[in-house]
Amino acid sequence: METERELVGCGVVLESAEHGPQLCLGVLLASNPPQGGGPAVVNWDWSAVSGHQSLAGTTWGVYTLTGTYDGDTFTMTRPPMLGRQDPGGPVAPAPSDELATPCPEPPGGWRVLDPSRATDEAMERTFEAARRLEGYAGSWMDQSINPARRGRAEDEDLLMNDPTRLIINVMVTGDTTAAEARLRETWGGALCVCPARHTETELLHVLDEVLTTPGMLTAGTGRDHVELQVVYDDGSLQRELDAKFGVGLVVVASALRPHHG
């Protein structure tokens, strides 16, 4: 995607023996030196910036760049800024907590109903049973009720993942009441069963289709949707995917955003 509009990108600028300076906007391997990739920065000069380090033929540092992007290379139009800066303008809203429990808190709060079925073994059996449910759309643990998550526990390590201090969440496209009754056969702890629009199988099929999107940085399934991060989207990619899959099924995030200054 070629644009003459000034864009801002925050990330690691990295140069190695294999390639020139690149703006790494996606996954960065936490090795030493780090490894990553992204659009080439065609007019980068290490001697004009500070805050970088070099090891084994690789030089890198964290910077905020302003420039234009032609779908392959990033051309700076302003001097880079050290670190992750916000030059102004609208910022994308913070993502919702994908691990939060969508069900309302029951009367009396989240609690264990049957301690004999609130064990590690029972939890494992319950997740297995969930995956066999008709219309299974995903499952996860929510530890927000665990005092260790809030730094209030004397021995946090022992409490983390305690089956009596978490909520099992399961999403299905079918009858939630029937699904909850089935899961209650194995689980006596806190449980939330909520409706979904798409099964896990449907989401994985869509995910497989978007993996070849030009400029893709990362992709994965979220709560009832597929998340796709690309180097830059001016909105046209989101509209295209909305038309193809339905509004909201694929959520596009652009690593580069318009500069406002």
Q: Which fold has domain 200-258?
A: Alpha-Beta Plaits (3.30.70)
If DSSP codes are grouped into helix, strand and coil, which group holds residue 164?
A: helix
* pLDDT for 77: 95
Name the pLDDT band for 86 (thresholds 50, 70, 90). low
- Closest Cα partner for 52 from 44, 41, 61, 43? 61
Q: What is the pLDDT of residue 93?
A: 43
- Tens digits of per-residue pLDDT, 116-141? 999 999 999 999 999 999 999 999 99
User: Average of pLDDT values for 183-188?
Assistant: 98
Query: Which pLDDT value is given to residue 157?
Result: 57
**Is residue 146 predicted with pLDDT exceeding 50?**
yes
Q: What's the confidence (pLDDT) of residue 158?
A: 58
User: Beta strand pairing status for 22-24 and 3-15?
Assistant: antiparallel
Q: Return phi, psi of residue 235, to 5°.
A: 110, -20
Average pLDDT, rounded, for the chain: 90
What pLDDT is stored for residue 204 in this prediction?
Answer: 98
> How confident is the model at residue 26, as a pLDDT?
85
pTM: 0.83
